[in-house]
Amino acid sequence: MNLAQSVLAVNDDLPIKTNLPVHSGKVRSVYWLTAEDSSRLIRDKGYDVAEDTPLAIMVISDRISAFDCVWHGENGLNGVPGKGAALNAISNHWFKLFKENGLADSHILDIPHPFVWIVQKAKPVMIEAIARQYITGSMWRSYEKGEREFCGITLPEGLTKDQKLDQILITPSTKGILKGIPNVPEADDANISNADIVNNYSSFNFKSIEDVSLYQTLLKDGFSLITDELAKIGQIFIDTKFEFGYVKDSQQQEKLIYMDEVGTPDSSRIWDGEAYRNGKVVENSKEGFRQVLLNYFPDADILLNKNRMDERNALARNNSLPTSVLMDVSKTYLNIAEKITGTKLILSNNPKQEIIDILRESYDLIV
């Protein structure tokens, strides 16, 4: 098997029927279906959404991003084998458990292929909902420099690196650049407090003040559920990012749902429990890859300093990482996915053709 060919690195060139430009993010590409195809699928597949809801095909890739850049390897290896399938499998698992435990639905309506979701259009809440159970990463770096207040929460003196906190901390940031909100910087990923959200809830797209409490409940309950499930397989849930949005069901009832992905190695830190109890941190998430990058390049400040984005982009563009680095990431993602789901992932030699075939045969969505 040709390793480079087995990786789905380019996912915005599929012949899916759409009359809008394909939106391609760092990892996923989104194909908005025509109004005709959306209503046909809603009717034929019985999706529980309003009949005029726009639908999209969301295709994940095997690309890997870190420090806001996409990285590549030697010999045309432009992604991590198995990464896309692992991310989707983990998210599918958690979304299903959330629904079964009465938390909330997700934006996913159908899963035609391990790389593909059929999703409903949602109005996003403009918050990166971040929750933490341990002090590490950027929070530790700031704490070490003397910062004690994070998103309106004051941490006590005397904490140590990687220590468990007394409670789950919610430390939200802005999703995109929001303008005209008092005390909120006009910048992406700007830290905000709960008071900022409560005082300006409609500016963040919340429908009501009560939904601010609901989002916090869904964040904490989702975090706790994943924490408990990971503990059963000897893993520790350290921190994560959730996203939320609004959709309408078939009865035109509006509801707050989970969006994007949840509890994955891309959006969360997951540590090996036994290693942590023995005083060592073993990452089962993308944080391990970030640490490799910080050690690989002589000037780590380029990766940590947002004022050096031009240099950072050049690093990612001009440096092919060793194949062994990307294969180590592949092993991490596949191992944690198989532990969480309890299922072995079967990887495809040609995922792109599989996607085209199934979307043509079962959904009539190929040009």
Count of residues making up the chain: 367
- Residues 145 and 182 reside in one and the same domain: yes
Give the Cβ contact number of residue 112 at 10 Å.
Answer: 17
Residue 165 domain-assigned (yes or no) = yes
Q: Is the separation of the CB atoms in 104 and 85 below 8 Å?
A: no
Residue 317 domain-assigned (yes or no) = no
**Secondary structure, 3-state, 47-81:** CCCCCCCCEEEEEECCCEEECCEEEEECCCCCCCC
pLDDT reported for residue 138: 87
Q: Is the separation of the CB atoms in 294 and 71 below 8 Å?
A: no
Residue 319 domain-assigned (yes or no) = no
Per-residue pLDDT reduced to its tens digit, 278-323: 999 999 999 999 999 999 999 999 999 989 999 999 999 999 999 9
- Residues 92 and 172 reside in one and the same domain: no
- Residues 41 and 115 reside in one and the same domain: yes
- Which residue segment(s) compose the domain that 63 sits in? 3-122+340-361
Instruction: Report, as ranges of residue numbers, the positions in the chain whose pLDDT lies below 70.
Output: 1
- Residues 117 and 158 reside in one and the same domain: no
Count of domains in the chain?
A: 2
- Residues 153 and 65 reside in one and the same domain: no
Residue 302 domain-assigned (yes or no) = no
> How big is the CA angle at 336 (ends 333 and 340), to the nearest 5 degrees?
135
Per-residue pLDDT reduced to its tens digit, 98-121: 999 999 999 999 999 999 999 999
Q: Is the separation of the CB atoms in 238 and 136 below 8 Å?
A: yes
The two three-digit tokens of residue 284, written as one number: 């089962």
Per-residue pLDDT reduced to its tens digit, 253-282: 999 999 999 999 999 999 999 999 999 999
C-alpha 203/C-alpha 323 separation (Å) is: 45
End residue of a domain, out of 171, 204, 237: 204
Residue 98 domain-assigned (yes or no) = yes
User: Which positions ≥6 away from 187 have C-beta within 8 Å?
Assistant: 174, 177
Write phi, then psi, for 286 (nearest 5 degrees): -65, -15
pLDDT reported for residue 349: 85
- Residues 70 and 21 reside in one and the same domain: yes
- Burial (CB count within 10 angstroms: exposed 0-12, middle 13-18, buried 19+), residue 296: middle
pTM of the model: 0.95
- Residues 48 and 149 reside in one and the same domain: no
- Residues 114 and 140 reside in one and the same domain: no
Q: What CATH code is carried by the domain that includes residue 138?
A: 3.30.470.20
Q: Is the separation of the CB atoms in 78 and 330 below 8 Å?
A: no
User: Which positions ≥6 away from 27 have C-beta within 8 Å?
Assistant: 60, 61, 63, 64, 65, 84, 87, 266
End residue of a domain, out of 162, 182, 204: 204
C-alpha 267/C-alpha 306 separation (Å) is: 19
Residue 265 domain-assigned (yes or no) = no
Q: What CATH code is carried by the domain that includes residue 17?
A: 3.30.200.20
pLDDT reported for residue 1: 54
Residue 177 domain-assigned (yes or no) = yes
- Residues 24 and 111 reside in one and the same domain: yes
- Residues 18 and 117 reside in one and the same domain: yes
Residue 230 domain-assigned (yes or no) = no
C-alpha 107/C-alpha 117 separation (Å) is: 9
pLDDT reported for residue 348: 86
End residue of a domain, out of 184, 204, 224: 204
- Residues 91 and 178 reside in one and the same domain: no
- Residues 72 and 141 reside in one and the same domain: no
C-alpha 226/C-alpha 213 separation (Å) is: 20
